């Protein structure tokens, strides 16, 4: 086996390695392979975050090694340290023995609280010493000495659940029986354990499990396998190459295999990725003689792109086809035209193709024979998918003699948009089909029973919870908000009239909406006296910023604990004190400080417990009582709320069996949310707002309406359907052409960019330069003097540049966030965000506050390194 194959396998089975290995035990044997700072980072990760995170970092460094012999060095280190089971599994690339230990790990985790209470680790350690690493044995003894037996027992559980010794469950059982320990009756094989669980789960003894808190929906990642032990890429690729397609998958693929442009609409978890592989393989093998196939697969998000690239590569390279991929992160250094020409299958993020069609690098879509759009419901408006199809439809409707590629769309839901009835839903779906030139919508009909056996639809439960009967926290914060609004009115009498939104109750999304609109209006507020204008704008900016934070805190207290809402405010005011702390902020801060003790008293009062959290606690207890292997996802709206709920779980001793983590989603919430794929899963909505439940009922109605509309369209005569699509395509092209002809000419008049907070002059539009078409910098020494640089709190690689710092308005009493300092092609330059500025016309003095660069019409000049002094 080559080093690359070993690297690939080790990456594939990395989950097993990180679940077992504590890398600090083998670092001394790997010192010749790692740099000193890498060893220190791994040790720091273990100290700060634990063995799992340290093992992940270790594996990352290991897979980056290029020196000969690195793999043998790793195996030798495992052997020397005592990881005999892991060593054997990697040598044979067979992890079956380790996987069989999972049921015993789960049982021990479930019984951890009782284990800590009943077990003296010093008594049983000599009997089980062969089950753990020598260093672990010493550490457990040291913990017992320094912190007591319960802490030692907790450490022992941690070590045993990471053990790679196949006999450790049996050895532990014998050790417990030998010592006549009352805990021994619980330690038995999984089939007997089921009879024990009920007895002890009536108390607090529920197993360690995982709960994820998501505050934005992630893109769909298709999954064919129900085996959660392997990484998704590996399980998909292996299953796709080994499994026979199910009948419903062949049914979904059939129209596309017959050469028709098709939208495949099927639920999450049914294996649409496998269907796309079947279509792709059939397409490449059945093209007419003399015509070479070329497939492009579009993935909307980078994680999906990475997954599909891996799956397609493993599946097709064995069949002799060349597969590659290009994303935004790699496009800068890749000759796109040559890559497309030299490969059979190309995985792309869609903007790459849009850019290369626009500049002529790719002459037309006729270079491809098949295009597959993942999450194709996004093909609308100005989405890159739709822009690609604009080229396709222009070619089709323009009467081009060149052959067009076949088009396949994949989605879990075509949606109905704003439709209120079936007729409007049919129109919405027809428009999507027109955008993709798809004459067929493929759904499972003949093999529906088989699909239902594979894909489980979660039970949906709506539960209305009463709010707190009295809410003193809200009363105090609301009073602070009223005082802040009064202060803003004192600064400017017309404050309330800056936005006419009515019925804005404190602590609601509607109030948030009002604040955002007022915030925008404050930025472009103008007076003849520019100094007075700057003073008022800055003061109103501060007031609205504080109102927004108070509103956030009320939302947190509504859904989580009052003390978390208070902590959110305390952190905000600490940040205020360390930034530009002027008279207005001093006054706003003083008002808050006067109420802190009262708010602390309220938030610590047990009588102010949130009924929603009580209900959530009961739900979690019940579900994990019935099934200790339960996995839970909590969906919330904001990061602050996700942090608050995570903290609540961690601080609740009766939920100690849960290990919460926060997932950050990407992109807008799609219509396939509630990812309960396991049989028996539930989707539970907890809310005190009846309108939210009504909204969910409407969503369920829309889903039913969508399915009925699809059935209606499938019954249409194909010629009639194509005629409808052609009519829509011509109408859309007419509108598109009209808009292109009326595109605004870039405004060459010079504009001022003023700080959005204090109105200080930052730069002129003539000094702005575009970087890689999507970023904006400013040249000239005067701009360099108008901002200050601070280290970036989270420096990282972002696409084609490195974030190294943050830039802020240089006025000490302002410090408004203007953007970032980035390293682009070895040159460090400022990159500004337009929403941080007010644009003022030099001639008329009119001010605007664009929220996106495309809203700012000015002459865009590309950046050249020589322009930056």
Q: What is the DSSP string of 199-233?
A: HHHTTT----EEEEEESSPPPP-------TTS-HH
Q: Which two tokens stand for residue 729?
A: 């395509």
Confidence of residue 236 (pLDDT cuts 50, 70, 90): low
CA 205 to chain centre: 32
Confidence of residue 215 (pLDDT cuts 50, 70, 90): low
Q: How far apart are CA 48 and CA 40, in angstroms?
A: 12
Confidence of residue 840 (pLDDT cuts 50, 70, 90): very high
Q: Which two tokens stand for residue 608?
A: 């102010």
Q: How far apart are CA 804 and CA 823, in angstroms?
A: 7
pLDDT of residue 183: 60
Which residues have a Cβ under 8 Å from the Cβ of 635 and sit 6 or more positions away? 214, 215, 217, 673
What is residue 862's DSSP assignment? B
The answer on pLDDT for 207 being more than 60 is: no
The answer on pLDDT for 753 being more than 80 is: yes
The neighbour count for residue 862, using CB atoms within 10 Å, is: 10
SS3 335: coil
Strands (DSSP E) contained in 725-816 are: 751-755, 761-764, 768-771, 775-778, 787-791, 797-798, 801-809
The answer on pLDDT for 427 being more than 60 is: yes
DSSP codes, 4-38:
HHHHHHHHHTHHHHHHH--GGGTGGGSTTTS-HHH
The whole-number average pLDDT for the span 255-281 is: 95
Which residues have a Cβ under 8 Å from the Cβ of 230 and sit 6 or more positions away? 12, 13, 15, 238
pLDDT of residue 231: 36
The answer on pLDDT for 217 being more than 70 is: no
781 compared with 206, residue with greater pLDDT: 781
pLDDT of residue 585: 86
Confidence of residue 509 (pLDDT cuts 50, 70, 90): confident
Strands (DSSP E) contained in 624-757 are: 631-635, 658-663, 682-687, 751-755
CA 46 to chain centre: 25
pLDDT of residue 440: 97
52-70 pLDDT, tens digit each? 889 999 999 999 998 888 9
pTM over 0.85: no
Q: Which two tokens stand for residue 570?
A: 């305390």
pLDDT of residue 839: 94
672-706 pLDDT, tens digit each? 447 556 677 888 888 888 888 898 899 999 999 99
446-483 pLDDT, tens digit each? 999 999 888 888 888 888 888 888 899 999 999 999 99
The whole-number average pLDDT for the span 6-16 is: 85
Report yes or no: 272 and 264 within 8 Å, Cβ to Cβ. Answer: yes
The whole-number average pLDDT for the span 744-751 is: 86
The average confidence (pLDDT) of the chain is 85
pLDDT of residue 837: 95
Q: How far apart are CA 641 and CA 551, in angstroms?
A: 13
pLDDT of residue 199: 28
The neighbour count for residue 695, using CB atoms within 10 Å, is: 13
Report yes or no: 661 and 210 within 8 Å, Cβ to Cβ. Answer: yes
The answer on pLDDT for 99 being more than 70 is: yes
The neighbour count for residue 30, using CB atoms within 10 Å, is: 24
Which residues have a Cβ under 8 Å from the Cβ of 724 and sit 6 or more positions away? 430, 434, 716
Report yes or no: 436 and 465 within 8 Å, Cβ to Cβ. Answer: no
pLDDT of residue 243: 66
The answer on pLDDT for 443 being more than 90 is: yes
What is residue 433's DSSP assignment? H
The Cα-based distances of 506 to 338, 429, 513, 599, 864 in angstroms read 58, 39, 11, 17, 49
Calculate what percentage of the chain has a pLDDT beyond 70.
Answer: 88
The whole-number average pLDDT for the span 7-36 is: 88
DSSP codes, 72-114:
HHHHHHHHHHT-HHHHHHHHHT--HHHHHTHHHHHHHHHTHHH
pLDDT of residue 677: 61
825 compared with 321, residue with greater pLDDT: 321
Which residues have a Cβ under 8 Å from the Cβ of 843 and sit 6 or more positions away? 749
Q: Which two tokens stand for residue 640?
A: 């602050």
The answer on pLDDT for 209 being more than 70 is: no
Q: How far apart are CA 733 and CA 28, in angstroms?
A: 67
What is residue 455's DSSP assignment? S
Burial of 733 (0-12, 13-18, 19+ CB in 10 A): middle
The whole-number average pLDDT for the span 745-757 is: 90
Q: Which two tokens stand for residue 103?
A: 């049921």
Contacts of 777-783 with CB under 8 Å at 24 or more apart are: 777/829, 777/830, 777/831, 777/832, 777/863, 777/868, 778/830, 778/832, 779/863, 779/867, 779/868, 779/869, 780/869, 781/869, 783/830
Among 244, 307, 246, 313, CA closest to 280? 313
Strand partners, 832: 819
The answer on pLDDT for 570 being more than 90 is: yes
Top-confidence range, 30-39, 192-201, 561-570, 573-582: 561-570
The answer on pLDDT for 238 being more than 60 is: no
Calculate what percentage of the chain has a pLDDT beyond 90.
Answer: 43
136-180 pLDDT, tens digit each? 888 888 888 877 787 888 888 889 989 999 888 888 877 776 655
604-641 pLDDT, tens digit each? 998 888 999 999 998 888 888 888 888 898 988 888 88
């Amino acid at each position: 086996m080559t080093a690359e194959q070993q690297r690939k396998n080790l990456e594939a089975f990395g989950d097993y390695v990180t679940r077992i290995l504590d890398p600090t035990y083998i670092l001394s044997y790997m010192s010749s392979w790692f740099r000193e700072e890498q060893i220190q980072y791994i040790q720091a990760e273990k100290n700060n975050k634990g063995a799992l995170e340290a093992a992940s970092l270790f594996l990352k460094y290991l897979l980056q090694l290029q020196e000969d012999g690195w793999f043998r060095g790793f195996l030798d280190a495992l052997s020397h340290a005592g990881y005999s089971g892991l060593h054997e599994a990697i040598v044979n690339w067979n992890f079956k023995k380790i996987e069989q230990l999972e049921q015993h790990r789960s049982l021990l985790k479930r019984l951890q609280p009782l284990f800590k209470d009943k077990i003296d680790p010093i008594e049983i350690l000599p009997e089980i010493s062969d089950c753990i690493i020598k260093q672990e044995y010493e550490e457990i003894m040291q913990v017992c000495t320094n912190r007591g037996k319960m802490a030692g027992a907790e450490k022992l559980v941690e070590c045993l659940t990471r053990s790679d010794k196949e006999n450790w469950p049996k050895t532990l059982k014998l050790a417990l029986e030998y010592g006549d320990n009352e805990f021994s009756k619980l330690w038995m094989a999984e089939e007997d354990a089921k009879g024990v669980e009920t007895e002890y789960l009536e108390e607090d003894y529920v197993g360690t499990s995982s709960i994820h808190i998501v505050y934005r929906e992630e893109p769909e990642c298709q999954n064919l396998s129900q085996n959660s032990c392997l990484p998704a890429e590996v399980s998909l690729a292996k299953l796709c190459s080994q499994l026979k397609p199910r009948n419903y998958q062949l049914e979904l693929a059939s129209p596309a295999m017959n050469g028709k442009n098709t939208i495949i609409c099927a639920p999450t978890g049914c294996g649409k990725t496998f269907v796309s592989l079947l279509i792709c393989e059939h397409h490449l093998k059945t093209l007419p003689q003399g015509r070479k196939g070329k497939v492009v697969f579009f993935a909307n998000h980078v994680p999906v792109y990475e997954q599909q690239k891996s799956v397609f590569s493993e599946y097709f390279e064995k069949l002799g086809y060349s597969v590659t991929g290009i994303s935004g992160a790699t496009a800068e250094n890749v000759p796109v035209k040559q890559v497309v020409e030299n490969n059979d299958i190309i995985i792309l993020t869609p903007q790459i193709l849009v850019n290369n069609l626009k500049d002529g690098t790719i002459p037309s879509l006729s270079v491809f024979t098949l295009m597959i759009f993942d999450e194709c419901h996004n093909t609308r408006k100005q989405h890159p998918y739709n822009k690609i199809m604009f080229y396709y439809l222009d070619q089709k409707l323009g009467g081009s003699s060149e052959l067009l590629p076949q088009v396949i769309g994949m989605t879990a839901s075509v949606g109905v948009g704003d439709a209120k009835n079936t007729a409007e839903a049919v129109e919405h779906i027809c428009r999507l089909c027109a955008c993709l030139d798809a004459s067929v919508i493929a759904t499972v009909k003949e093999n529906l029973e088989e699909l239902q056996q594979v894909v489980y639809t979660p039970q949906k439960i709506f539960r209305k919870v009463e709010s707190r009967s009295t809410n003193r926290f809200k009363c105090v914060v609301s009073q602070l908000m009223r005082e802040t609004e009064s202060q803003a009115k004192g600064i400017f009498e017309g404050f309330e009239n800056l936005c006419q939104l009515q019925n804005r109750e404190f602590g609601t999304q509607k109030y948030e909406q009002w604040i955002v609109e007022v915030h925008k209006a404050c930025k472009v507020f103008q007076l003849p006296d520019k100094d007075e204008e700057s003073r008022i704008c800055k003061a109103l900016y501060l007031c609205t910023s504080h109102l927004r934070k108070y509103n956030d805190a009320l939302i947190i207290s509504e859904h989580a604990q009052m003390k978390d809402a208070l902590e959110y405010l305390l952190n905000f005011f600490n940040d205020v004190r360390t930034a530009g702390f002027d008279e207005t902020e001093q006054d706003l801060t003083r008002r808050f400080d006067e109420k802190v003790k009262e708010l602390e008293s309220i938030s610590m009062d047990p009588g102010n417990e949130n009924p929603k959290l009580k209900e959530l606690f009961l739900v979690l207890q019940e579900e994990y009582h019935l099934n200790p292997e339960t996995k839970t996802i909590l969906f919330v709206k904001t990061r602050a709320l996700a942090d608050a709920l995570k903290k609540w779980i961690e601080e609740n001793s009766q939920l100690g069996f849960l290990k919460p983590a926060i997932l950050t989603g990407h992109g807008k919430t799609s219509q396939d949310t509630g990812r309960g794929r396991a049989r028996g899963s539930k989707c539970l909505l907890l809310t005190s707002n009846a309108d939210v439940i009504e909204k969910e009922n409407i969503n369920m109605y829309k889903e039913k309406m969508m399915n009925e509309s699809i059935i209606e369209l499938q019954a249409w005569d194909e010629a009639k359907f194509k005629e409808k699509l052609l009519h829509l395509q011509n109408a859309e092209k007419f509108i598109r052409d009209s808009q292109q002809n009326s595109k605004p000419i870039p405004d060459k008049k010079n504009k001022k960019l003023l700080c959005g907070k204090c109105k200080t002059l930052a730069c002129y539009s003539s000094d702005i330069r575009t970087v890689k078409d999507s970023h904006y910098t400013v040249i000239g020494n005067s701009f360099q003097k108008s901002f200050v640089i601070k280290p970036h709190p989270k420096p990282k690689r972002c696409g084609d540049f490195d974030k190294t710092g943050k830039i802020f308005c240089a006025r000490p009493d302002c410090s408004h966030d203007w953007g970032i300092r980035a390293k682009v092609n070895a040159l460090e330059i400022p990159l500004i965000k337009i929403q941080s500025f007010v644009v003022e016309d030099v001639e008329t003095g009119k001010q605007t506050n664009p929220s996106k660069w495309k809203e700012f019409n000015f002459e865009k000049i590309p950046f050249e390194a020589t322009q930056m002094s």
